[in-house]
Structure 1
Amino acid sequence: MNSTPLRVGITPSHTCSYLPDQYEQLIVLMDENYRTATGYELLLQAGFRRSGNDVYRPHCTQCSACQSLRINAAEFEPSRKQRRVLHKNSDISWQLNDTDKPVYYALYERYINQRHADGSMYPPSYSQYKQFLLSDWLKPVFIEFYHGEKLIAVAVTDVTPHSLSAMYTFYDPEYEARSLGTYAILTQLQLTLRMGRTYLYLGYQVDGCRKMNYKSGYLPHERLENKVWKKYGITTD
């Protein structure tokens, strides 16, 4: 990617949604040739991320807090806390679906209303849900989590030739105590191996943002720093 020109645009500077004392700008992909699963995987390797049909990357001149993070699924070692989450949810079943369902939005709406009423996605709407999670050029898969016959969570996941990318997970707020966000990532790591892929991309790690720094707890992992993927640590209990 370093030697391949891309057609991109750049957004105006605005207040950062992760670090309120900073300003952010985004590079937005304008090159239609990369709107494929293969092209998107190259962009993931270069620190880009999908939101709906758009692909973007932070381009902040005064800050480098946003670091792309990925996990080599074969190297991952769950911590004691993560093993407890797996045990706690041993009665949960999951399955894959490749098409959107109306029940997903109903669950998403309840999740945003009760868990993120202070965030930029509130109030939720179906058009906002589609513009955020769905794509015309890259169809995600939906990991459905069931407690008995009840759908309690959905993890929207992009699939590329050699990797998976965790887009977003939403769940029934009544099951908050089960740490379903963590359980979804652990399941996506299992799915990465099952599908013969190498990496699970988790988006941006932001050390100074409480809502975004949870990703650092999955070890070992790699972060993109100065265009180089750097490995971080082994799991510690």
Structure 2
Amino acid sequence: MTSEPRDPPQFYLTSPAPCPYLPGKEERKVFTHLVGRRASHLNDALTHSGFRRSQTIAYRPACENCKACVSVRILCDEFAPGRTQKRVIARNDDIIAAVGASRADAEQFALFRSYLDSRHSDGGMADMAMLDYAMMVEDSHVDSRIATYRLREGGKPGRLLACCLTDVLDDGLSMVYSFYAPDAPQRSLGAYMILEHIARARALGLPHLYLGYWVAGSKKMDYKAHYLPQERLGREGWMRVG
């Protein structure tokens, strides 16, 4: 019986590309592969160090002259929703949330396509087909789940309103990718999913919810600063904010 090699992961650097967050900037990323039986352990360690996961790749920014991307995690045990966040929770009290295996289906993909066409029609994911979506959800060697949010209809789960692909880490949950119905802006479904994940992490005894990167000056990322207290990863490690 042979054991899996214990060699350290190999890291690679991408070529420069236009920054999706700050105009006029270029981005580069360092990445490695998450495969095999050690993938979950490696994903935990790299997430703690500011990496994000996409399928079987873990990556983080490695830009030469810019350090604007800052990893953010919410301190779930200490979080208390503010007035606006309480209204979001109340506004969505007719939603039924469920968590299951990371499996893609046609209903999820239809919602995903509607979201992309409405919110990100010129983005890098705009041309994704069903097979691409299935790879995004299912191509993983780590503990990953799909959270679904359905409208309660007649006391039962009805229309699919939102989904979130989520990794389960040793110290928290990591929201990998979320999408939602673009025709229900009054529900603030993106904010609701974050609030529901905070509550779920707390119920699981997990102290953190990882939100990915916050970028000062980027309107796309402003919302992440509204969930306090949180920690941001800097040169001295994770530093508390709020």
TM-score of the superposition, structure 2-length normalised? 0.88
Q: What is the 5 A alignment of 1:53-202?
A: 53-102=56-105, 103-148=107-152, 149-202=158-211
Assess if the C-alpha contact under 8 Å between 2:101 and 2:144 holds in 1.
Answer: yes
- Indicate which of 12, 22, 44 corresponds to 1:9: 12
Give the whole-Å Cα distance in 2 for the aligned partners of 1:99 and 1:33: 17
Superposition deviation, residue 33 in structure 1:
7.0
- Indicate which of 213, 218, 222 corresponds to 1:204: 213
Give the whole-Å Cα distance in 2 for the aligned partners of 1:227 and 1:49: 19
Q: Which residue of 1 aligns with 2:230?
A: 221
Task: Extract structure 1 runs of 4+ deviating beyond 6 A.
Answer: none
Q: Which residue of 1 aligns with 2:3?
A: none
Superposition deviation, residue 154 in structure 1:
0.8
TM-score of the superposition, structure 1-length normalised? 0.90
Identity %: 35
What's the secondary structure of 1:123's corresponding residue?
coil
Assess if the C-alpha contact under 8 Å between 2:215 and 2:222 holds in 1.
Answer: yes
Closer, same or farther in 2 for the Cα pair 1:213/1:18, shift >3 Å? same
Q: Which residue of 1 aligns with 2:41?
A: 38
The alignment yields a C-alpha RMSD, in angstroms, of 1.9
| 1:120 partner letter | G
Give the whole-Å Cα distance in 2 for the aligned partners of 1:191 and 1:37: 20
Give the whole-Å Cα distance in 2 for the aligned partners of 1:204 and 1:180: 19
Give the whole-Å Cα distance in 2 for the aligned partners of 1:31 and 1:142: 19
Assess if the C-alpha contact under 8 Å between 2:34 and 2:58 holds in 1.
Answer: no
Assess if the C-alpha contact under 8 Å between 1:46 and 1:227 holds in 2.
Answer: no
Superposition deviation, residue 32 in structure 1:
5.0
What's the secondary structure of 1:212's corresponding residue?
helix
Assess if the C-alpha contact under 8 Å between 1:9 and 1:30 holds in 2.
Answer: no
Assess if the C-alpha contact under 8 Å between 1:220 and 1:231 holds in 2.
Answer: yes
1:19 aligns with 2:22: yes
Number of residue equivalences: 230
Give the whole-Å Cα distance in 2 for the aligned partners of 1:200 and 1:128: 26
Superposition deviation, residue 59 in structure 1:
0.5
Structure 2 gaps, min length 5: 1-6, 153-157
Larger deviation, residues 115-124 vs 131-140: 131-140
Structure 1 gaps, min length 5: none
Give the whole-Å Cα distance in 2 for the aligned partners of 1:179 and 1:201: 19
What's the secondary structure of 1:69's corresponding residue?
strand
Superposition deviation, residue 6 in structure 1:
4.5
Give the whole-Å Cα distance in 1 for the aligned partners of 2:167 and 2:120: 23
Give the whole-Å Cα distance in 2 for the aligned partners of 1:36 and 1:197: 20
